[in-house]
Amino acid sequence: MIYRLDHNISHIVDKERDAELIKFPNSDDVMFSSPELDFTNLDFFEYIPHPMEFVGNLDVLAKTDHPYIVPSDYPMISLRLLDALLTAGEFRYQTYSTRIYDEALTEDVRYQSDYTRTDCEVTDPTQYTDRFIMLRLLDSSNVLDLERTICAVDTDDDDSLAVRACDTDRYKSYGSIGIDKIERLALAVPEEQLPGVFVMRELYGLYCTDRTVQSCQKSGIVGVKFTPIPSPLYKGVRPIPGGFRLLREDQLPV
């Protein structure tokens, strides 16, 4: 089984994030989710601060290994979660250090006009946490068999859906396949050859196998949700979070 590694946001009540970036020049252009990009040749690379700085709720952050942050394209994880992922299977990666200040200091450390850093120095270690890193994978796994992967696609007939293979050009760009439309996810390599975490060009997000789920459970990882791909069928009309499965496996094209 393949899973998307998601944030567990059930703890978020009055806010829409665990932490928020203190902006730096060209920070809106950073794309940690694209392994094929050479950061050293991009305009934002020289401006990335070390550590990258955020403001957030330290009490909540102490209870998660995978904070939900703004912007969401920044994959922040704890070192403990990184160890669990590597235990499930080695992969090439880069990390960027982070520092998250208590949100009570927001007006001290971040300008409210443009969300950039002020000159305020915070020396009290109880007012920040350094336990998270930004993770960037360096390889895009070419593991998806598009000829055998089946998706539900829109038709011209009253917004109905049809089931088709994903081997056309429309599905060969980054993030072009929505996981809620997948009826069958077919791999081009055996599942046991996959690393502890990986990205697939056609699907947005981080993905893993049962080995990673077991490794995270054994390590006591919290704040993580594993979304199975495709989502399992339910009874009746089979509604599922994020979409609908149309067909049983035995009803899919061979």
Q: Which of 14-23, 36-45, 49-58, 130-139 has the lowest mean pLDDT?
A: 36-45
Token pair of 95 as six digits = 């990390």
More confident residue, 148 or 30: 148
Q: Full-prediction pTM beyond 0.75?
A: yes
Quote the mean pLDDT of the chain.
Answer: 82
What's the pLDDT tens digit per position in 29-84?
776 666 666 655 555 567 788 899 999 999 989 999 999 988 877 789 999 999 99
- The domain spans of the chain are 8-137, 150-251
CA pair distance 44, 36, nearest whole angstrom: 16
Whether 143 contacts 61, CB under 8 Å: no
Whether 65 contacts 224, CB under 8 Å: yes
What's the pLDDT tens digit per position in 196-221?
999 888 888 899 999 999 999 999 99
One-letter amino acid at 199 equals V
pLDDT confidence of residue 36: 61
What's the pLDDT tens digit per position in 88-97?
999 999 899 9
The backbone region for 26, taken as left when phi is positive above 0, alpha when psi lies in -120 to 50, beta otherwise, is left
Share of the chain above pLDDT 70, in %: 74
pLDDT confidence of residue 118: 96
